[in-house]
Chain A
Amino acid sequence: MLSPTTPLQRGDGPLSPPAEALVRFEGVRKVYPPRAGGDAFVALDHIDLSVGRGSVLGVIGRSGAGKSTLIRLVNGLEKASAGKVIVDGADITGMSERDLRGVRRAIGMVFQHFNLLSSRTAYDNVALPLEIAGISAADIRRQVEPLLELVGLADKRDRYPAELSGGQKQRVGIARALATRPKALLSDEATSALDPETTRSILDLLGSINAELGLTILLITHEMSVVARIARQVAVLDAGRIVEQGDVYDVFTRPQHATTRSFLGAVSGQKLPGWLAGRLRAEARPGDQAVVRVVFRGPIATDALVSGLVKTHGVDVNILSGAVDEVAGRPFGALVLGLPADPATLTLALAWFAGHGLDAEVLGHVG
C-alpha cells in the first residue's frame, strides 16, 4: 500500500510549470471546527494539485472524500485552514470577501441540483450573474442570447425551470456559468442528477466548451465514466487526500491505489463477474482452467490476438468475460480468459501476450 501522503505522479503529471497553472493548490489543509461533543474534522490534507490553463481536470472520490470542499476552495466559498490556493496568479487564501467577489466573477460554477432561480425564466437566470456584475440591460441581452444559442436552448428562453427537463436545466446552468466569460469553470457533480443519455450530452457540451472557448474546467464526480469521457488529468481523492493523480489514461489503465481500482470496477475488467469470482481458487486441481486477465491499451484487435494464440500454438482459449471501454478518447479494455492450466501451455500463452505488448496476469483457477 502506498503512503497516503505521497500521491503517485503518473505520466507527464499535472504539475505543469507554475505559469501554466490557472488554479494551484499548495499544501492545502481544511479542518472544520469540532461540533458539540465531537472532534475537529479534517476534510482535506496535503493537497497539492494544479489545473493547467485550458485543461480539464477531474477529481474523483466517494461521498465524504472532500471533493465538495476542494472545489469550493477555488472560489473562496470555503477557506483553507493552511496552505495556499492560487487562482490566476493570485493567492486567494487571505483575500477579503470584497476581493473574493471579483475572483468569483471570473469563475463559473455549475451544480448537481442546478440551483436555478425558480422565479426567473431561462433567459433571466442566465442574465443574473451579469446583473450582479452591474452590466446594462442592453449589454445583457447581447450576451445572453448567444449563450442560450450555444447551449441549444434559444427556443426555451422564456420557460421557467419547472418547465424544463433536467438536462435542459443543466444547460441553463452552464450558460449562466459562462455568462461573465470566466476563465475557469467549476463543475460540482454536474451530471450526477441526470440519466446516462443526458449525462453524455452535457459532458459533450462541456467538452466542446473546453475545446472551443479554451475554458479551464475543474470537475468533481464520483463516477469514473465522467472522468473517462472528458478529463485529460485526474486526481483520486480518498479520505481528504489525493492518493493518485496524473494523466487519465495512465491512471485508469494502470491503477495503483485500491481506491482507484474500486472506481474502475467491472468496466475495465478490474472486477471479475460474480459467478467467476466466487469459484476462483488459488491452487490448481487436475482438469482446472487457469483464469488469465489480459489488459490491452490502445487499438488492438482482440479477436485476432485470441485466434492467433489458438492457431499458432494450438492452445484452447475460453473467453470468460471481457469489456472494452474508452478512456480519454482511447480504447482500453480487459479480457478474462480460461486457459489450460498445465505450466508449459500457460507459459507459452503468457509469453505470446507479452510478445504483443500486453499485460497478462494469472488470477487463479476454476474447475
Chain B
Amino acid sequence: MSADIAWLIWEATLDTMWMVAVAMIVATLIGIPLGVFLATSGKGELLAAPLLNRVLGLIVNATRSTPFIILVVAIIPFTRLVAGTSIGTKAAIVPLTIAAAPFIARLIETAIREVDQGLVEAARAMGATPLQIVRKVLLPEALPAIVLSLTLAVVSLIGYSAMVGAVGGGGLGDLGIRYGYQRFMPDVMAAVVVVLIVLVQGVQSIGDRLARRLNKRVRQAQGPA
C-alpha cells in the first residue's frame, strides 16, 4: 500500500471521527432531554403531558423507521438550510444527527425507566419538585445505563457514517466504496474495515469501562472495609 493510500485512509478516519463526534454531541443534546421527557411525561407520571408525549413518540418512531439512506436524501433541502450545502462531510453531519437524536432518545427513555420507582417515591416524599427528581435522582441513577446507551449510539453512528458517501460525505465508508469496490483495491477495503473495527472496539471498551466505574450498584473491590 502506497504512502498516498495510507494518507487517504488517515484523512478518511479523521473525517469519520469528526462527523460522528459533531453529530453525536448535537444528537445527545437533543436526545437526552427528549428521552427524559418521553420517560416521564406519560399519563400519571412525573411531568404528565400525555398528548405531547404521544406526538413526540410518533415523530421519534417515524424518524426511526425511515431507512437512513432515504432519510439522507429526503432531508436534503433541510440539510442545505442548516449546513449551507447539501454535499460534503459538513452536510453529512445533518442527517447523521437527525437519525441519531431519536435513537438516543429511545435509549435514554429506557435507561430512565429502569430506575427503581421507589427512589422516585422517596424523592417525592422529601418534597422534591419534578425537575429535582430528574436532576438528582433519575439522571444520576441512570448514568451507567446512559453511558452504555451513548456508546451504542456512537457505534451505530460509525456504521451510518459509511452511508453518507451517497451525498458526497467523506469518511471511511466512502473511501472503502470508491477505492476498495469501484477501483478494485481490496487492500484499501481491508484497511478500511480494520480501521473501523479498531474504532468500534476502542469506543466500546472505553464506554464499558466508564459505565463500570460509574455503577455503584455492585460492590466494588476496594480497600479493607
Which residues of B sit under 8 angstroms from A186, Cβ to Cβ? 125
Of listed B123, B127, B143, B214, residue having the most chain A CB within 10 A? B127
Residue of A nearest to B122 (CB): A115
Which residues of B sit under 8 angstroms from A75, Cβ to Cβ? 125
Size bracket of the A interface = 20 to 34
Stretch at the interface among A84-92, A124-132, A349-357: A124-132
Which residues of B sit under 8 angstroms from A161, Cβ to Cβ? 216
B119 at the interface (CB under 8 A from A): yes
Does A162 lie within 8 Å of B216, measured CB to CB?
Answer: yes
User: Of the candidates A111, A115, A120, A129, which one forms a contact with B140 in the assembled complex, judged by CB atoms under 8 Å apart?
Assistant: A120
Does A77 lie within 8 Å of B125, measured CB to CB?
Answer: yes
A102 at the interface (CB under 8 A from B): yes
Does B136 lie within 8 Å of A132, measured CB to CB?
Answer: yes
Which residues of A sit under 8 angstroms from B216, Cβ to Cβ? 118-120, 160-162
Q: Mark A94-110, 1 if CB is under 8 A from B, else 0.
A: 00000011111101010
Which residues of A sit under 8 angstroms from B123, Cβ to Cβ? 128, 132
Does B218 lie within 8 Å of A109, measured CB to CB?
Answer: no
A229 at the interface (CB under 8 A from B): no
B183 at the interface (CB under 8 A from A): no
A5 smallest CB distance to B (angstroms): 31
Given contacts A162-B217, A162-B218, contact A118 B141 (CB under 8 A): yes
A114 smallest CB distance to B (angstroms): 8
Given contacts A113-B118, A117-B141, A118-B141, contact A132 B219 (CB under 8 A): no
Does A107 lie within 8 Å of B217, measured CB to CB?
Answer: no
- In Å, the complex CA distance between A202 and B125 comes to 21
B129 at the interface (CB under 8 A from A): yes
Q: Mark A1-26, 1 if CB is under 8 A from B, else 0.
A: 00000000000000000000000000
A133 at the interface (CB under 8 A from B): yes
Which residues of B sit under 8 angstroms from A359, Cβ to Cβ? none
Give residues of chain B (102-136) contacting chain A, Cβ–Cβ below 8 Å: 116, 118-119, 121-129, 132, 136
User: Of the candidates A103, A109, A162, which one forms a contact with B122 in the assembled complex, judged by CB atoms under 8 Å apart?
Assistant: A109
User: Of the candidates B119, B122, B127, which one forms a contact with A101 in the assembled complex, judged by CB atoms under 8 Å apart?
Assistant: B127
A163 at the interface (CB under 8 A from B): yes
B3 at the interface (CB under 8 A from A): no
Give residues of chain A (175-208) contacting chain B, Cβ–Cβ below 8 Å: 180, 186
B225 at the interface (CB under 8 A from A): yes
Does B141 lie within 8 Å of A131, measured CB to CB?
Answer: no
Which residues of B sit under 8 angstroms from A118, Cβ to Cβ? 141, 216-217
B212 smallest CB distance to A (angstroms): 13
Which residues of B sit under 8 angstroms from A131, Cβ to Cβ? 136
User: Of the candidates A117, A133, A163, which one forms a contact with B119 in the assembled complex, judged by CB atoms under 8 Å apart?
Assistant: A117
User: Of the candidates A111, A117, A119, A132, which one forms a contact with B127 in the assembled complex, judged by CB atoms under 8 Å apart?
Assistant: A132
B177 smallest CB distance to A (angstroms): 44
Q: Mark B70-106, 1 if CB is under 8 A from A, else 0.
A: 0000000000000000000000000000000000000
- In Å, the complex CA distance between A102 and B127 comes to 6
- In Å, the complex CA distance between A55 and B214 comes to 43
Does B218 lie within 8 Å of A107, measured CB to CB?
Answer: no
Does B127 lie within 8 Å of A77, measured CB to CB?
Answer: no
A140 smallest CB distance to B (angstroms): 13
Residue of A nearest to B116 (CB): A115
- In Å, the complex CA distance between A118 and B116 comes to 10
Residue of B nearest to A121 (CB): B216
Which residues of B sit under 8 angstroms from A105, Cβ to Cβ? 126-127
Shortest 8 CB-CB contacts between residues of A and residues of B: A104-B127, A115-B122, A105-B127, A101-B127, A129-B126, A115-B118, A160-B216, A109-B125
Show the binding face of B for A, using Cβ within 8 Å.
116, 118-119, 121-129, 132, 136-137, 140-141, 143, 214, 216-220, 222, 225
Show the binding face of A for B, using Cβ within 8 Å.
75, 77, 100-105, 107, 109, 111, 113, 115, 117-120, 128-129, 131-133, 159-163, 180, 186
A-B contact pairs, 6 of them (CB 8 A): A111-B121, A119-B143, A128-B123, A162-B217, A162-B220, A180-B127
Sample of 12 further A-B pairs with CB below 8 A, known A75-B125, A128-B126: A77-B121, A77-B125, A101-B128, A101-B129, A104-B124, A109-B122, A113-B118, A115-B118, A118-B216, A119-B140, A163-B225, A186-B125
